[in-house]
Amino acid sequence: MDLPGKFFAACVFAGSLIWSNAALAADLTQPQAEARVTPQWKGDAVCTHCHDESESRPILSIYQTKHGVKGDPRTPGCQSCHGTSDNHLKDKSQPTDVTFGENKSDAKVQNAACLSCHRAGKRTRWEGGQHQANDVPCSSCHAVHASVDKVRNRKTQTEVCFTCHKEQRADSLKISTHPIDAGKVVCSDCHNPHGSGGPKLLKKNTVTETCYSCHAEKRGPFLWEHQPVNKDCTNCHTPHGSNISPLLKSRAPFLCDECHDGPHDSPNPYGPGAAVGRPGSGGGYGDRSAAGRACMNCHSMVHGSNSPSGAFLHR
């Protein structure tokens, strides 16, 4: 090789070294830098070696979540939940020991991975609860790898619940609702999907106790009580949505007629003339006991009255 050729070769070589060093430097900024690897991370590396940033699902986003905080000794590694998955490591076509999601590993197996840590507090009553009994895996609602778990975000939680609870989705589009669409009242404000000591997976022990969490003004005890109120708010209300405001199962006076027949105007049958009125000549006006709020034009203290003169719930 002549001198110019050697010089050219040397330049190319030097250039390649510079680029190589740059590449090496770039590599050193990556987590593969062994010197900075923690034991937990090393464990994850068995998986993240393949399941890296190129995955269509955001596997590595778990490092934005509590499950990715390696400084917390309680934090699991990939294999804490997915199992050691020896078969998968040998043959990538084989699934991991535990695969999460619908139609993956048995729901009980999936949930055991979660419950091994998350068994106290809100999850105490998971076993035997409605979701457990129906083989709902935790991953059906929770996206553990996502940086933001949709079901734990108030703006998006209902999207997750409505995936299965379709009647409630339809209810939420009715004219009278809680502020569900605005994200101000969400399913988990009233329900504990992980199991409950109350009915319908409610957070509190009873329906009334749950409702009083926000509507404490209706808690009383009142001097004059309205018996169905103390028993169960859903005797009159339907909390997920209604065609009758405010969240009523029926419209007064017919709602009231379901329990009252005798006193005052309650035995009266009412047709359109009374409930609506009859406009035009020879017409008439709606009856104050049947039209508008009907009974509640006067008996408006339906949740109870503390006025000594309020025995008929009108004061």
Partner 1 sequence: MRTIREHFAVSTLTLAIQGALLAMFAAPLVAVAADADQDVATLTQPTNSVEIGAENVSKKSAKFGEYNGLNKSGADLIGNFSARGGDAYQSYDGGTGVTRWEIKGTDLGTTSREVGGAVSQQGAWNLGVNYDQLRHHITDSYQTPFQGTMGGNNLVIPGTFGVIDATDDDAVGTGTQGMTANQLASFRTVDVYTDRKNTSFNAGYTFNRQWSVQFDFNRLDQSGAKLIGVSMSPDALGVGAGEKVATLMNPTNYKTDTFDIAATWLGEKGHLTASYFASIFKDGYSSLSWSNPFIDSGGGSALTGSAPAGGAFPMNTFATPPNNNFQQLNLLGGYDFTSATTLAGGMSYGRNTQNSSFIDDPLLTSALPQGALNGLVVTTHADLKLTNQTSKDLALSAGLKYNERDNRTPSNTFTSFASIAGDPWGAVTNAPVSNKNYQLELAGTYRIDKKQSVRLAYDYDDVKSWCNNSLANSFQSADVVATYPTYYTNSACVQSPSSKEHKLSTNYKLKVASDVSLNAGYAYARRRADINSSYYNPMQTSAEGLQNLGYVPYFEASRREHILKAGINWQASDRFNVGMSGRYVDDKYDAALGVQKGHAWGLNLDAAYGYSQTGTVSAYFSVQRRQRDLLSSADKSPLATPANLWTNRMSDDTNTVGVTAKQKDLMGGRLELAGDLSYSLGKTRYSTQIQDSTLCSDITCGSLPAIRNDMKKLKVTAIYAVDKASKVALTYLYKKLKSDDYYYSAYQLGWTDVTVLPTNQQAPNYSVNVLMASYMYSFR
Identify residues 185-214 at the interface with partner 1 (CB under 8 A): 195, 197, 205-206, 209, 212-214
- Single residue of 43, 50, 68, 84 touching partner 1 by CB under 8 A: 68
- The reply on whether position 43 binds partner 1 by CB under 8 A is no
In 3D space, the residue among 217, 237, 238, 216 whose CA is nearest the CA of residue 228 turns out to be 237
**What is the C-alpha to C-alpha distance for residues 106 and 108, in angstroms, rounded to an integer?**
5
- Closest separation in Å from C-beta 232 to partner 1: 7
- Asked if 221 interacts with partner 1 (CB under 8 A), we say yes
Q: Which of 43, 64, 79, 191 binds partner 1 (CB under 8 A)?
A: 64
Which runs of consecutive H residues, i.e. helices, occur in 49-184? Answer: 78-82, 86-90, 107-115, 130-133, 157-161, 166-171
Q: Of these, 84, 94, 101, 243, which contacts partner 1 (CB under 8 A)?
A: 243
CA dist 224 and 283 (Å) reads 39
Residue 131: CB minimum distance to partner 1, A: 13
Minimum CB–partner distance for residue 196 and partner 1 (Å): 9
Instruction: Count the helices and strands in the chain (H runs, E runs).
Output: 13, 0
CA separation (Å) from 267 to 27, 123, 196, 259, 275? 85, 49, 41, 11, 15
CA separation for the pair 51, 129 (Å, rounded)? 35
Please give the residues from 256 up to 295 whose contact with partner 1 meets the rule CB under 8 A: 257-264, 267-279, 282-288, 291-293
Listed in sequence order, the residues at least 6 apart from 292 whose beta carbon sits closer than 8 Å to its beta carbon are 286
Question: 């020879």: which residue's tokens?
Answer: 282
Residue closer to partner 1 (CB basis): 137 or 287: 287
Q: Does 95 bind partner 1 (CB under 8 A)?
A: no
Phi then psi dihedrals of residue 125, to 5 deg: -100, 25
Of 155-174, which residues contact partner 1 (CB under 8 A)? 155, 166-167, 169-171, 173-174
- Given candidates 84, 86, 94, 184, which one binds partner 1 under the rule CB under 8 A? 184
**Residue entry with tokens 């999907």:** 193
Confirm or reject binding of residue 45 to partner 1 (CB under 8 A).
no
Choose between 85 and 129: whose C-beta lies nearer to partner 1: 129
Count of CB atoms situated within 10 Å of the CB of 150: 15
Binding residues for partner 1 restricted to 109-148, rule: CB under 8 A: 119-121, 124-128, 133, 135, 147
Site for partner 1 in 70-89 (CB under 8 A): 70-75
Within 22-41, the residues that bind partner 1 by CB under 8 A are 22-23, 26-27, 29-31, 33, 36-38, 40-41
